[in-house]
Amino acid sequence: MSRTIKLFKPYDVLCQFTDPEGRPTLADFVPIPGVYAAGRLDRDSEGLLLLTDDGPLAHRLTDPRFDHPKIYLVQVERVPTEDALDALRRGVTLGDGPTKPAGAELLAEPPDLPERPVPIRFRKNVPTAWIRLTIREGRNRQVRRMTAAVGHPTLRLVRWAVADVALDGLAPGAWADLSDGEAAALRRLAVAAPAKKRRGDRGRASPRR
């Protein structure tokens, strides 16, 4: 029987199991043999990472044709205007082409997240804000590039959910087996047909954020 778990990947941890330089890796937190990350998060990003020994499921989770949503909680410099949020919703043009339309919501209050071990940079005269960003593709450092494109550099990036699987109370470095509902949602994803390709879309790898 295959096994899939969810991990709250901490800040400053590499999304791999070995590192010749001795930096923190997934092996420091996940003692389960045979599971591998389905998707990636940058070393300086935090949050939900799915790990599985199910190859076809891992492919579905990382193949952009399947169009499943990924939700990020993003702390940015300054408070975005509605125009900036609308630009994210419509899609912004990056160096590797336009992004698909996204969900973008300004949060009235900071989300209830654990403190990061390395504090974000603080500038006395520059306020910060949190947005909830939902995307359905994955390019290299896409979320950071999207917020920068509308004038709001990312300070902290936490992936909250992938499809119907969310962090839901996990502490940084903690992992858990999926609930029955989460496992069922991923099984549905594993048999779903790819989303129809929209005109102008290009195939993308699903690397890091």
User: Which one of the listed residues 12, 19, 28, 42 is annotated catalytic?
Assistant: 42
For residues 132 and 141, give the distance between their C-alpha atoms in angstroms, rounded to a whole number.
16
Contact 133/142 with Cβ under 8 angstroms?
Answer: no
Told to judge if 42 belongs to the known catalytic residues of this protein, a careful annotator would answer yes
Contact 175/47 with Cβ under 8 angstroms?
Answer: no
Other Cβ atoms closer than 10 A to 157: 23
Q: In the chain, what are the helix, strand and coil shares in percent, each to the nearest 5?
A: 20, 25, 55
Which residues contact residue 83 at a Cβ distance below 8 angstroms, ignoring those fewer than 6 apart?
Answer: none
Q: Which residues are catalytically annotated?
A: 42
